[in-house]
């Protein structure tokens, strides 16, 4: 007798609907390899090569030598179990000062196995009981909603406007949650060049959001993977840089600024935690227990690779990332220009004009569901992401809402010369399959 | 107004008692750096050096080239986001055949960010609702009980005998759980050279345990970090090697067989999962959703380092690990001999004689609590681990049970010449602080 398990008997997160949607996307992409993918949001290949890895490792080892570590200590740092919160705290704290004007002590930094683990750690640590919920911008990055499902934490959506999250809406949703006897523990938001919507919050709204968070006794989970990639050099302070009251946990990723294969991200949590005995520590230190129960610590070898990049960059990814920034700017401008070329004058089609990042949203005169995506890949040779993937189950019921007639376009992974052709193929789909003009 | 959070307001796993205990242990170790640590269970430093890392990476890249991957594909494999379940499936499946006689398809293998993540993935996927509990050998490795606490999964202890887990006790506990209306979903066990107790299950008991698991409709989580380190070359089949009915999920670690700093482990789950629509897949494939929500995928750079070691070893860590095996054998024999020298003839002191691994347990005529450990470090210059750390909260109430008068001794991290002196210091503690003869 061999074991057969019913899928329905496994935990709900195994059948996570957004993960299933992403799997579907990957399958469609695999089935139509010649389609141009305006779906893939991964960074462009080609800013780093495996030849660099040795050098990064050696740069980091030389850095450790400069700090006075003996050969034995250097070996141990890379090859043994290590400190739960990692050994890049000082370099990351320095980077945050140089690149973002964020000043935090190095012990407020936890290095994580990618930013996804930082989400899990933060949600798990903050949401203590069944009444603790997390508010999240909607449409929402699927990593956040998935992490919440994994932990059994309820997500309460806060609908986004064209200018990103509206602080007054946050206040209203938080009050409603409290009125229902639950505790809104934190708010998840991507203030700059959001995934999936591409929106950014104006600086005044950022300041106001911090006030609202203080009034509603909310913490903010600020996810900032795209902050380096603005279309212009205008400074866009992160919430954490504006945060004088320690309302913000800052979630960082090296996947876009360095490369994804290191799987190194980080969490900044400089809030004070007071124990029943009066002992005081920082939230990042307290959360180290959660981190240790997930992955013990982040691969010190992977940390050393990222450490080497930071050391070589003088702790400024903004400085060394100019080539990347220029690439992504060019791609986003190319995408927006191609949309104008293909759709200007068509009142059925509208799109937003993100100020940076990897994504834009197109409202289309057709139901942008999985069947349409499959047809698009097969008959038109172009892939995109249904925006409905980024809405909770309730939201799809709203008339015209829930992203059912909208698609996310990504321009990060493509060579720029492919973008115009991708948009032309999309225009053919809309022409043939859209509602009549 | 800056934020102050009450520790009691954070999730229970933040204040995980076993993690707190381990933190205490680390603090004591830091305060008494000259003490000989019979507490540290980490592998010995010195089997690998950072100089090897480049070579491992290049060996793996050469392997990929041999498989026909283009330079672009090789770059992408190491530097991009990758397949959720990792890219070492084929090498690990081969290793399992060569070293353990375990035959599983490569798609039954999930590469994880250390074995701890494999524990979290397995528990999360299998325990779907509040009635689903996991049985676990007691005394138990703290990573399992901590992972369960993180996920809100209840752990039901199954007390261990001198020969490890007794299958009939498992049957009895599983029946009691079912009688209480709950579902015993899985059983956690380390059949060979357990942490913390050092015990091993006889082969007949292993076979019987598989029958019991089938009868009770239990899956088995077999954790096997120490399997290479038997005192003799006698074959000790893993449960997975004996498992004809796919009752066993096998959890592997490269921390001891290679080195901890890669943070690469793996999960083998070849059980068939059937969806409501009749679609069939393997459990490892289904669990990839859970893995993706924890860490997206395991650092491909770290995977490549371990991949290089496997390639160089012809996929046999048993073959290349002879130096390690000899080292740990010598250390364990030295420890057992030192115990005989120091304690033979003292009827108050008893210890077990593990057939391999890193640990032994000593029953002592004193309360082996944190205060005694601190005194031991300060006044006697020797550290050890209270066995009470490995028992659940209820177990400490049993008279003389719960490990209150027992200590775990580890001999893995020490140079062999320090072990005898460590045991002599321990004997002085027992002489001065133990109950009268």
Q: Determine the residue of chain A that is closest to B149 in CA distance.
A: A293
Cβ of A50 within 8 Å of Cβ of B75? The answer is: yes
Cis peptide before B421 (omega within 30 of 0): no
User: What does the alpha-carbon distance between residue B142 and residue A84 come to, in Å, rounded to a whole number?
Assistant: 15
Residue A234 has pLDDT above 50, yes or no: yes
Q: Do A264 and B299 touch (CB under 8 A)?
A: yes
Q: How far is B8 from chain A (nearest CA, A)?
A: 7
Q: Give the residue from B3, B19, B152, B155 with the most A CB atoms within 10 Å of its CB, the best one to mutate.
A: B3
- pLDDT, average across residues A342-353: 95
From the list A382, A301, A404, the residue with the least C-alpha distance to B262 is A301
Residue A91: both structure tokens together: 């370099």
pLDDT attached to residue B401 = 53
pLDDT-derived band at A285 (thresholds 50, 70, 90) equals very high
The count of C-alpha atoms lying within 13 angstroms of the C-alpha of B36, restricted to the half-sphere facing its C-beta, is 20
Q: Which structural domains are found in chain B, ordered by start?
A: 11-40+321-433 (3.90.1150.10), 54-319 (3.40.640.10)
pLDDT tens digit sequence for B345-374: 999 999 999 999 999 999 999 999 999 999
- The gap from C-alpha B345 to its chain's centroid, in whole angstroms, comes to 33
pLDDT in tens, B2-45: 889 999 999 999 988 877 787 888 888 889 999 999 999 999 98
Could you tell me which chain A residue has the CA closest to the CA of B151? A151
pLDDT score recorded for residue B112: 98
Chain A residues with CB under 8 Å of B15 CB are 289
Residue A396 has pLDDT above 60, yes or no: no
Instruction: State how far residue A165 is from chain B, nearest Cα, in angstroms.
Output: 22
Residue holding tokens 């809104």? A184
β-partners of residue A361 are A408
Do residues B238 and B97 lie in contact, with contact meaning Cβ atoms separated by under 8 Å?
no
Predicted confidence (pLDDT) per residue in A3-62, tens digit: 899 999 999 999 888 777 878 888 888 899 999 999 999 999 889 899 999 999 999 999
**Cα nearest neighbour of B7 on chain A:** A275
Alpha-carbon distance A207 to nearest alpha carbon in chain B (angstroms): 15
Summarize the confidence of residues A178-203 as an average pLDDT: 97
Phi and psi at residue A368, to the nearest 5°: -90, 70
pLDDT in tens, A408-426: 999 999 999 999 999 999 9
A399 CB-near residues (< 8 Å, 6+ apart): none
Q: And the tokens for B147?
A: 């992972």
Place of tokens 């779907």: B128
> Is B4 in Cβ contact with A49 (below 8 Å)?
no
Question: pLDDT, tens digit, for every residue of A86-136?
Answer: 999 999 999 999 999 999 999 999 999 999 999 999 999 999 998 999 999
Q: Nearest-CA distance from A421 to chain B in Å?
A: 23
Q: How far is CA B404 from CA B387, B407, B408, in A?
A: 7, 8, 11
| A305 has pLDDT over 80 | yes
Cβ neighbours, 10 Å, residue B88: 25
Q: What is the DSSP string of B169-233?
A: HHHHHHHHHHHTT-EEEEEEE--SS-TTT-----HHHHHHHHHHHHHHT-EEEEE-SSTT-BSS-
Per-residue pLDDT in tens (0 to 9) along chain B, 437 residues: 788 999 999 999 998 887 778 788 888 888 999 999 999 999 998 898 999 999 999 999 999 999 999 999 999 999 999 899 999 999 999 999 999 999 999 999 999 999 999 999 999 999 999 899 999 999 999 999 999 999 999 999 999 999 999 999 999 999 999 999 999 999 999 999 999 999 999 999 999 999 999 999 999 999 999 999 999 998 899 999 999 999 999 999 999 999 999 999 999 999 999 999 999 999 999 999 999 999 999 999 999 999 999 999 999 999 888 999 999 999 999 999 999 999 999 999 999 999 999 999 999 999 999 999 999 999 999 999 999 999 987 554 444 458 999 999 999 999 999 999 999 999 999 999 999 98
Nearest to B158 by CA among B175, B143, B180: B175
Confidence at residue A27, expressed as pLDDT on a 0 to 100 scale: 85
pLDDT digits (tens, 9 = 90+) for B160-177: 999 999 999 999 999 999
pLDDT in tens, A57-79: 999 999 999 999 999 999 999 99
A127 → closest Cβ in B11, B74, B149: B11
Q: Which chain B residues have a beta carbon less than 8 Å from that of A299?
A: 113, 261-264, 299, 301-302
pLDDT number for residue B395: 53
**Which of A143, A151, A302 lies nearest to residue B299, judging by beta carbons?**
A302
Residues of B in contact with A14 (CB under 8 A): 125, 286-287, 289-290
A325 is written with which tokens?
Answer: 């920034």
The three-class DSSP label of residue B162 is coil
């Amino acid at each position: 007798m061999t074991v057969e398990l019913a899928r329905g008997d496994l935990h709900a997160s195994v059948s996570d609907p957004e993960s299933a949607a992403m799997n579907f996307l990957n399958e469609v992409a695999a089935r139509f390899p010649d389609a141009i993918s305006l779906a893939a949001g991964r960074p462009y290949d080609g800013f780093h090569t495996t030849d660099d890895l040795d050098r990064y490792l050696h740069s980091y080892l030389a850095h450790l030598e400069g700090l006075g570590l003996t050969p034995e200590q250097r070996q141990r740092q890379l090859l043994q179990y290590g400190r739960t919160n990692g050994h890049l705290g000082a370099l990351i704290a320095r980077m945050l000062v140089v690149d973002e004007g964020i000043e935090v002590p190095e012990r407020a930094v936890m290095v994580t196995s990618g930013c996804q683990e930082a989400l899990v750690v933060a949600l798990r640590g903050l949401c203590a009981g069944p009444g603790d919920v997390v508010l999240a911008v909607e449409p929402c990055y699927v990593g956040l909603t998935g992490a919440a499902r994994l932990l059994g934490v309820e997500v309460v959506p806060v609908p986004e406007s064209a200018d990103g999250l509206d602080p007054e809406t946050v206040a209203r949703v938080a009050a409603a949650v409290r009125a229902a006897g639950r505790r809104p523990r934190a708010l998840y938001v991507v203030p700059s060049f959001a995934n999936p919507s591409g929106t950014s919050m104006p600086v005044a709204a950022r300041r106001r959001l911090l006030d609202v968070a203080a009034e509603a006794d909310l913490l903010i989970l600020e996810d900032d993977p795209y902050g380096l990639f603005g279309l212009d050099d205008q400074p866009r302070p992160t919430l954490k840089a504006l945060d004088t009251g320690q309302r913000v946990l800052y979630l960082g990723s090296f996947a876009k600024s360095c490369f994804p294969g290191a799987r190194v991200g980080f969490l900044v949590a400089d809030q004070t935690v007071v124990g029943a005995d009066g002992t005081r520590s920082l939230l990042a230190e307290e959360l180290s227990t959660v981190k240790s129960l997930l992955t013990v610590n982040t691969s010190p070898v992977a940390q050393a690779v990222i450490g080497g990049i930071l050391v070589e960059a003088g702790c400024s990814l903004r400085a060394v990332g100019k080539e990347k920034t220029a690439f992504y700017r060019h791609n986003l401008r190319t995408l927006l220009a191609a949309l104008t070329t293909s759709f200007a004058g068509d009142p059925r089609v509208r799109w937003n004009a993100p100020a940076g990042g990897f994504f834009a949203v197109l409202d289309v005169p057709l139901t942008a569901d999985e069947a349409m995506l499959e047809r698009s890949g097969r008959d038109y040779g172009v892939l995109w992401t249904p925006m409905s993937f980024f809405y909770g189950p309730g939201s799809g019921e709203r008339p015209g809402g829930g992203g059912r007639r909208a698609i996310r376009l990504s321009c990060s992974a493509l060579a720029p010369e492919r973008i115009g052709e991708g948009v032309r193929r999309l225009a053919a789909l809309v022409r043939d399959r859209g509602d009549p003009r």
